[in-house]
Copies of this chain bind each other. A is one copy, B any other.
């Protein structure tokens, strides 16, 4: 496939298919031009995630991204200005997607803190979010985050707001259940456990999304024994 895309003739075929998909979008929107531009950007971002997952941060080249998207070499510098900006846009994209996902899961959950916590956990191991491909891309960014402030800021995906919510859920659960843990450390343990499971999912061979979810449910059930999950892992 990589080889095929290096051949201009083959690439044309790919482009035409992409063009057809784009036309459908165009018919819905008013400005086809702008839609096209946004489509290309998304296409390049997806190709970037692929490359990060396949080759890691250090070996992700613009050539590989362009090939993955079935476009030519100069294309990234036209749509994003530089490699750095492409990577930031990619991380931003993933961070937004992640945040929107858990936030809407939280809105759909009931009022009770236990339901909300289970909803957050389930959201983390949802099909759409928790793919090997995306986890690998996340981890590639984590590896560079400490030395790049821009990444560091965006990598707080489970960011301040998320942490505040987990803290408040732990506080409400404590009150409801009469537990006697200290709230902040407990909330930290819960959210880092989810992160740790992500990390393992990406590295470990045998671990599946379902098993990771099960582990989270098992641990949280033990931590909050008077709040049984109404919705376990599927």
Contacts and interface: CB of A to CB of B under 8 A. Distances in A.
Interface in A115-144: 136, 139-144
A124 B64 CA distance: 39
A186 B152 CA distance: 31
| Interface of chain A, main secondary structure | helix
Interface string A142-162: 111111100010011000000
A113 interface: no
A49 to B, nearest CB: 13
A218 interface: yes
Nearest to A158: B200
A143 B67 CA distance: 23
B185 A215 contact: yes
Nearest to A183: B218
A218 B57 contact: no
Interface of A: 53-59, 136, 139-148, 152, 155-156, 179, 181-182, 185-186, 188-197, 199-200, 202-204, 207, 211-212, 214-219, 221-224
A194 B29 CA distance: 48
Give the top 9 A-B pairs by smallest Cβ distance, nearest first. Answer: A143-B143, A196-B196, A192-B196, A189-B219, A56-B147, A185-B215, A185-B218, A193-B193, A195-B196
A146 B202 contact: yes
23 contacts: A56-B147, A56-B148, A57-B57, A57-B143, A59-B147, A141-B143, A142-B142, A142-B199, A179-B222, A181-B218, A185-B214, A188-B197, A188-B207, A189-B197, A189-B216, A189-B218, A191-B196, A192-B200, A193-B193, A194-B196, A195-B200, A219-B223, A222-B223
A221 B219 CA distance: 12
Nearest to A220: B189
Contacts of A202: 146
B203 A142 contact: yes
A203 B156 contact: yes
B147 A186 contact: no
